[in-house]
Homo-oligomer: A and B are copies of this chain.
Amino acid sequence: MSFEITILGSSAAVPVKGRHMTSQHVRIGNQQFLIDCGEATQHQLINLGISLHKIEHIFISHLHGDHFFGLPGLLSTMNMQRRTDPLYIHGPRGLDEVLLANFKHTKTDLSFKVFLYDNPTMFPEVIYENEKLTVETIPLTHRVPCTGFLFREKQKQYRIIPEKLPSGLPFEAFRALKRGEDIDFQGEQIFYKNVTLPPRKSRSYAFCSDTKYSKSVISKVYGVDLLYHESTFMHRHLDRANTTFHTTAHQAGTVAKEAKVGELLIGHFSARYGDLNNLLEEAREEFPNTELAKEGKQFTILERE
């Protein structure tokens, strides 16, 4: 199953030539998600050849414009193109009011249903779940209520080794073996350990933006395969980071190191930095396996034993 994150925007607060505001596209198997939706997110989706219509759920971290001002336009385009599938939006309280104000005056009667859910912000909570996946909030520390999102595959099943099975095994028996249960078949016991490989590891992706550096995040993202953590400032601008409730590259690296994640992506870069490699180097001093979350870059979390 695929598990891919595509970066649509890396810029904090304001756009910079070549840098867009925060948004990420997440594809897990045949499901597609959007995290945040800064202005011109739909332009980025179109530029990168990603269909708007396959997005089922949109997760909005907080109500600062650089994270949601693209939402009315995206919904309008879905409407113009006659979307019929429902759309699920998980965002902070108040987002409904903003959307309603926009659509009231544009006299838009959407061609599809929008289900809007308020994000819980106090404690981590599962806000979406299907057979294979959960999405959980990560409470963050910012100037307005803000949550990150943790995408985590559920416990996977044991993998059948077909050549080890007798023929004629009923479907129910297959399913039991995959769950790790021993079965009886034609008077003989079949031990799941003998005919299966152990489940593949469940993969996970954590998105943390915007937030002040906070130790409480470390336990929430502990051991994830891929962590996106905002890294708005260089550590020499720590005062500015503290005042504006943002994180430095050094601090993002520290979170990744202490949380023992697999890989770190940094993004949400202040417009003051022309060369982002300085931010990258600073984070890598703490956590070498770090990359820049640049526009158009795709990060894949591979299946692992």
Given contacts A14-B81, A39-B73, A80-B14, A105 and B101 within 8 Å (CB-CB): no
Given contacts A16-B46, A47-B17, A101-B97, A143 and B107 within 8 Å (CB-CB): yes
Q: Which residues of B contact A77 (CB under 8 A)?
A: 13-15
Chain B proximity of A166: nearest CB distance (Å): 56
Chain B proximity of A55: nearest CB distance (Å): 15
Please tell me the size bucket of the interface on A: 35 or more
Q: Which residues of B contact A42 (CB under 8 A)?
A: 14-15, 39
The count of identical subunits is 2
Which chain B residue has the least Cβ–Cβ distance from A144?
B107
Q: Which residues of B contact A15 (CB under 8 A)?
A: 42-43, 46, 77
29 A–B pairs (Cβ distance < 8 Å), ordered by A: A13-B76, A13-B80, A14-B42, A14-B77, A14-B80, A14-B81, A15-B43, A15-B77, A16-B46, A17-B46, A39-B39, A39-B42, A39-B43, A63-B105, A63-B107, A65-B76, A65-B102, A65-B108, A66-B76, A69-B72, A69-B73, A69-B76, A69-B102, A92-B105, A94-B104, A94-B105, A98-B102, A101-B101, A101-B102
Which residues of A come within 8 Å of B, CB atoms? 13-17, 20-21, 39-40, 42-43, 46-47, 63-66, 69-70, 72-73, 76-77, 80-81, 92, 94-95, 97-98, 100-102, 104-108, 143-144
